[in-house]
Amino acid sequence: MSPSHNPKLADLLLQYAGLSENGIAVLDAENRFVYYNPAFAQMFDFADQSMISKTHGDLMEWMYMQQRGSNIEWANLQDWLEYAGSRQRSAPFRSFEVDLKGGRWILMTEQVCPDGELVMFCSDITRQKETENALKKAHGDIERLALTDDLTGVPNRRNFMQRLAQEISRSQRSAEPFCLAMLDLDFFKKVNDRFGHAAGDEVLKHFANFVQQHLRAEDVLGRLGGEEFGVLLPNSSLPVAQLVLNRVLERLQAERLPEVAADFSYTFSGGLVQHGAAPGKSGSDLLALADQALYAAKADGRNRIAPYTPQPAAPVA
């Protein structure tokens, strides 16, 4: 039985709507408000206004101009009104989320009736959204921790090797060169032995931060383990990559870490290999070749960058 045939039921529904904490509003076929309850007016912050007989567009324009109600981020009012108007009544029933000024969120449903009326029902989902956002943040933090070195904040070995594999694939598709470097702090064990592991950690953090500041925006620094770091230098030939790393090497000479010891400084050595100009194909192969070049840099006196040099083929007996 419809409410129109049962006045008591109609009164009960109106009483429920008036007392409900959920927002309820009804628009006629011409999109003019014929009813809204106090909760709806409070949600959209127009309790001090009357919207009866005004259109839904009037309410949206009022909210935009007054910066009240919905959190509207559109720069142009007309563009937003056209977009919102195109979405309304686009289906017999639709459901969507709306963020309000002050950080609250509502879930709004719209039901188009056979005679053209539109019934809007709004429920507060702020707590659910807060929980959802907290879970997203926690998931992001876990993902970041899984891919980031805890001490230095740069990509860890797993993350770095993934990026190296991606760069190999990109280079193979584009035929553009890239270089891989392995960096190692010189005499780092002596720093730990003389000043302690806490001081060693400060040196590692300083090194990671310093190198990141002096690499190019597209370059990627990662910590491979201990005092060893890797650097990806995309779109770079061996001379270009060596120029970039030598600049880092030279600028580090002027750095001092008084928190470790008065006038304390340190150096690093690096091995450099260009993908495609060396026999290695996989990320592990390239890393092994960069390690060979690093060994050569240390054998040659440290505090330098050494490019990978292929070993001459053994003579045939």
Q: How far is CA 114 from CA 23, 84, 111, 180, in A?
A: 22, 22, 10, 67
Within 8 A by CB and 6+ apart from 125, the residues are: 97, 105, 106, 107
Q: Give the gyration radius of the chain's Cα atoms.
A: 32
Q: How does strand 179-185 pair with strand 268-274?
A: antiparallel
Q: At residue 183, what are phi and psi to the nearest 5 degrees?
A: -110, 145
Number of C-alpha atoms within 13 angstroms, CB side, residue 46?
Answer: 25
Is 117 catalytic? The answer is no
Query: How does 123-147 read in b/e, with b if 16+ C-beta sit within 10 Å?
Result: bbbeeebeeeeeeeeeeeeeeeeee
The catalytic residue among 110, 117, 227, 228 is 227
CB of 155 closer than 8 Å to CB of 165? no
Task: Using alpha carbons, select from 107, 301, 92, 51 the residue that is nearest to residue 186.
Answer: 301
Nearest-10 crossing angle of helices 238-252, 197-214? 130
Alpha-helical segments (H) within 67-216: 77-87, 126-147, 157-174, 188-195, 197-214
Task: Using alpha carbons, select from 311, 209, 192 the residue that is nearest to residue 261.
Answer: 192
Active site residues: 227
